[in-house]
Structure 1
Amino acid sequence: MHNIEKSADTQIERFTQREETLLHTDFSQSPTLLDGFLHPELFEISPIGSYTSRSEIVNWLLVKSPTQRWHLSQFKVVELAADTMLVCYQANSISDGVVKATGSLRSSIWRFHDQQWRLQFHQATKN
């Protein structure tokens, strides 16, 4: 099988880093890097309640503004299975160096697939 670190702090650090990398990296410069982050069966439920396919998510990641930044906080990581983690957190966009008061609660399911943690499901709910 694979060696997965069990420490709660290590898990929070690992998935905070992966979520931040997805949001803050300019993948338009290296689109093939996305395959190391995104599970082949990835889908999302958008803030308005619609399904978003993997290809739509990839397209968004490739065209999003490279200067957009997010403040991510209140991380919780729950092990659902040895190869499956639920990650929940608060995301607020940053504009002119100021964190917006409203944002979204987010949940992601990460699966250990092909020797890497890959995002398989994501949902954002505005708050």
Structure 2
Amino acid sequence: MEYRFSLKEQLFQLEEKLLKPEIRISNDELTNLLADSFFEFGSSGKVLYKNESVGEMNLGIVQMEMSDFEIHPLSEEIVLTTYRIYNAMTEQHSLRSSIWKLIDGRWKMHFHQGTKVTS
């Protein structure tokens, strides 16, 4: 049980890191956190791909609060995370999910989706 708690905390911290403005505009940080095959279905309706160049992803500055964070292990090396986000800048709520893969000993985000919902 301790393994799952530490895994949940580790993935929570990685998800939180991706919400920080300084991380979202850093090519180096995004390259380290996102798998080469990363793609996203954004809550804006845009589809983003890492291979289109991290520098052109334009993730933007956000002020988001995460809640209801859960992990759903799919295998020892693949985990689905789910949570809610409140974006204070747009006053919008969304449901989020990410697939994380353990690649060369490091967790990297392979897929992410945000879906707008009413509060």
Q: 2:19 aligns with which of 8, 16, 23?
A: 23
Select which of 79, 85, 88 maps to 2:73: 79
Normalising by structure 1, we get a TM-score of: 0.76
- Pairwise CA distance, 1:45: 1.6
Q: Pick from 8, 29, 34: which aligns with 1:38? A: 34
Partner residue, 2:106: 116
- The percent of aligned pairs where both chains have the same amino acid is 31
Letter in 1 for 2:58: W
Alpha-carbon RMSD: 2.5
Q: Which digits, 9 at most, give the CA deviation of each residue in 1:34-77, with x for residues without a partner? A: 2220000001122355532114683224xx22xx3210000110
Q: 1:19: how far off?
A: 0.8
Task: Count how many residue pairs are aligned between Structure 1 and Structure 2.
Answer: 114
Return the letter of the residue paired with 1:79.
Answer: P
Whole-angstrom CA distance in 1 between matches of 2:63 and 2:44? 21
2:93 alignment partner in structure 1: 103
Higher Cα Rg: structure 1 or 2? 1
CA distance in 2, matches of 1:48, 1:30: 21
Unaligned runs of 5+ in 2: none
Residues 71 and 92 in structure 1, CA contact (< 8 A), matched pair in contact too? yes
Q: 1:57 to 1:18 in 2, by over 3 A?
A: farther
> Which ranges of structure 1 fall in alignment gaps of 5 or more residues?
none
Runs (4+) of structure 1 exceeding 6 A deviation are none
